[in-house]
Chain A
């Protein structure tokens, strides 16, 4: 009944390599790291069940001749869970590759925007100086007047603008139709982001 040092060394090595891979930005490496960590944990559970080499099968004459079956049952469950989640992560990696031709963990754009926003009092801000995304509607001074009863908003007299808008809308819908075609991926370039959020 001499405890083995092989298992702890394996567990430690797997954990170290797994953590190293998990810290990478590449998703495939993250998945590999997760698999290593999962296996390290499985071996850890297994080693919690006592000395290796005995079968967890009844009947036995002496209870010392049998391995603890419970950790093995736990490991089986853990393996199944790890397997299922790995499949899901693989699907996500593939989806990410299809969408943005990349499989890295990306930064949160909104987070960056908030973090790099200039720290100016709202009263001192000139909307003209701000990037359009930060700019509020209106000029900040004009107050909306409710249309009076019976008052009809005059139609826009900028015919060119209206036409240009209609054309743009048409192009957009045509693009959306084309994007629905699964084979259409621009060669060498980024594919159209198909289900871009509205």
Chain B
């Protein structure tokens, strides 16, 4: 079993990298390229599932890549949290890839997702995400972040239109800033402890003076907070995500911020178990939830509304982390899994709305429920799930977090519980408004459209009813989105199993010894 894990662990990073090289080589043969990318990601997903089963069975396992002794070489660590994140991340990336393939086949090659660039970059993004989840030392985590960020810069500015370049500039500059803060934090950590290995740091950081620990922790938190879009550091997100192609926005919204959340969970539990900044995190969580959702309510564009709910719901995860108890962490882990799936689904459904209605502006949309009942279901189910309507998984996650908050007691947690409930209700308001406007209300008559066209002849975004009927949705895109809806429903049905894994992962995180033993145990082996 140990050998199996040792072979499998590097694969989620290696396979996509090799796949990216292959996809570049066969760039002139779109069919081969599509097949290759889907095969590679399916393989990675299979490996991740095996890793999760093994990790849930045996606890944490470490692999020293290249056989270098532990503190010097690169260590990859698979524990319940990282394996769970790998499985969810790869499920999402595979599904979005199928959606993108469907879009590419429907639109021709070089329109929205130019295949020759899209597929290799997408695979590199997956490699970066996997590397960040598996990284056993701070610097490898940094490299993982840089790999996924570099790929995300390219994906966000695909096609290089004016709007995407504008959005991409904001995104790139902010991401660069966070990377520099992270790198400076690594330098200071190394200066203080003489190592970047997470397991060694867990031991050595505890011996430092409290002030030094606080400085290092806050620097790392700022760096990860920007990536995760925690409130005072979240302004970049709603500006930059909505302009990208639908599949890109979906995978970014679902995954990339959660990598930041994962890094916060990892460093806060493993490196700084004292919880010195938990109070700050609580207030940040509250502000993220409430201010994010107030922004969402004000939007008229579906993509922007969803971007704001994304920021807002990051607050739930930070809430769980800030509680610092096993129940809180389990809630946060469950919520991360739920939110990755749900946010991706919603953005994909919005991509279909844009195809069908010609726009994502709710003031111009209408009558979609009648025009396309299937699309209406595909949007309605995840939207209610996001708002946390029982018995869906959003409700389970929020309930878990609220229970954890009440169990801890005290003024701070109770305020947060109140904030979480208000945020949930406001989320319902935001998605119900979109539902009511885009799907439920009757579509205005054609003559009014013509008036509108006469007022602004150049816009051309509003489609007439006749056009609406013609915008048939490509079956593969619908199938991918429907698959996601099924996955989110499965999260509800198998919520107990998932919550069990999240519980055990949280206990491991607080205990720390499984992680440390697995890394230090390597010394004996090699």
**Interface positions of A (Cβ within 8 A of B):** 22, 27, 30, 34, 37-38, 41, 44-45, 47-49, 68, 70-71, 74, 77-78, 81, 84-85, 88-89, 92, 95-96, 99-100, 105-106, 108, 110-111, 114, 132-139, 142-145, 168, 193, 195-198
B363→A99 contact, CB < 8 A = no
Task: Confirm or deny: B518 has a beta carbon within 8 angstroms of a beta carbon on chain A.
Answer: no
Which of B41-49, B183-191, B341-349 is the interface stretch? B183-191
Which of B167-175, B275-283, B389-397, B418-426 is the interface stretch? B167-175
Q: Which residues of A contact B299 (CB under 8 A)?
A: 114
Q: Which residues of B contact A195 (CB under 8 A)?
A: 159-161
Knowing A95-B165, A108-B239, the reply to whether A48 touches B191 (Cβ < 8 A) is yes
Q: Which residues of A contact B243 (CB under 8 A)?
A: 197
B184→A144 contact, CB < 8 A = no
Task: Confirm or deny: B429 has a beta carbon within 8 angstroms of a beta carbon on chain A.
Answer: no
Task: Confirm or deny: B247 has a beta carbon within 8 angstroms of a beta carbon on chain A.
Answer: no
Write 9 A-B pairs (CB below 8 A) sorted by A numbering: A74-B190, A99-B162, A110-B304, A114-B298, A132-B452, A134-B363, A135-B363, A142-B444, A144-B444
Render B112-150 as a binary contact track against A, CB cut-off 8 A, 1 for contact: 000000000000000000000000000100010010001
The minimal Cβ–Cβ distance linking A50 to chain B, given in whole angstroms, is 9
B457→A41 contact, CB < 8 A = no
Q: Which residues of B contact A68 (CB under 8 A)?
A: 194
B interface, over-half SS: helix
The minimal Cβ–Cβ distance linking A33 to chain B, given in whole angstroms, is 9
- Pick the contact of A198: B239, B444, B460 (CB < 8 A): B460
Knowing A41-B187, A78-B183, A138-B445, the reply to whether A111 touches B239 (Cβ < 8 A) is yes
Task: Confirm or deny: B163 has a beta carbon within 8 angstroms of a beta carbon on chain A.
Answer: yes
Render B239-276 as a binary contact track against A, CB cut-off 8 A, 1 for contact: 10011000000000000000000000000000000000
Q: Which residues of B contact A44 (CB under 8 A)?
A: 184, 187-188
- Pick the contact of B165: A41, A74, A99 (CB < 8 A): A99
Task: Confirm or deny: B176 has a beta carbon within 8 angstroms of a beta carbon on chain A.
Answer: yes
Knowing A27-B169, A41-B180, A105-B173, the reply to whether A144 touches B367 (Cβ < 8 A) is yes
Task: Confirm or deny: B300 has a beta carbon within 8 angstroms of a beta carbon on chain A.
Answer: yes
Knowing A48-B188, A89-B172, A92-B168, the reply to whether A37 touches B367 (Cβ < 8 A) is no
B457→A84 contact, CB < 8 A = no
Q: Which residues of A contact B366 (CB under 8 A)?
A: 136-138
Task: Confirm or deny: B364 has a beta carbon within 8 angstroms of a beta carbon on chain A.
Answer: yes
- In this complex, what residue of B is CB-closest to A84? B150
Q: Which residues of B contact A114 (CB under 8 A)?
A: 298-300, 304
- Pick the contact of B166: A30, A106, A139, A142 (CB < 8 A): A106
A34→B176 contact, CB < 8 A = yes
Given contacts A84-B150, A88-B172, A135-B455, 15 further A-B contacts (CB under 8 A): A22-B173, A44-B187, A70-B190, A77-B143, A85-B176, A95-B157, A99-B161, A105-B170, A105-B173, A108-B239, A110-B304, A132-B455, A135-B452, A137-B444, A142-B448
The minimal Cβ–Cβ distance linking B140 to chain A, given in whole angstroms, is 10
B160→A95 contact, CB < 8 A = yes
The minimal Cβ–Cβ distance linking A117 to chain B, given in whole angstroms, is 8
B150→A85 contact, CB < 8 A = yes
A142→B160 contact, CB < 8 A = no
Task: Confirm or deny: B449 has a beta carbon within 8 angstroms of a beta carbon on chain A.
Answer: yes
B163→A197 contact, CB < 8 A = yes
Q: Which residues of A contact B173 (CB under 8 A)?
A: 22, 30, 34, 105
The minimal Cβ–Cβ distance linking A72 to chain B, given in whole angstroms, is 12
The minimal Cβ–Cβ distance linking A101 to chain B, given in whole angstroms, is 11
Task: Confirm or deny: B403 has a beta carbon within 8 angstroms of a beta carbon on chain A.
Answer: no
Q: Which residues of B contact A38 (CB under 8 A)?
A: 180
Highest count of chain B CB atoms <10 Å: which of A70, A92, A96 = A92
Q: Which residues of B contact A48 (CB under 8 A)?
A: 187-188, 190-191
Knowing A34-B176, A111-B239, A144-B443, the reply to whether A132 touches B190 (Cβ < 8 A) is no
State in angstroms the CA–CA spacing of A180 and B153 once bound together: 25
State in angstroms the CA–CA spacing of A89 and B169 once bound together: 8
A41→B183 contact, CB < 8 A = yes
Q: Which residues of B contact A145 (CB under 8 A)?
A: 445
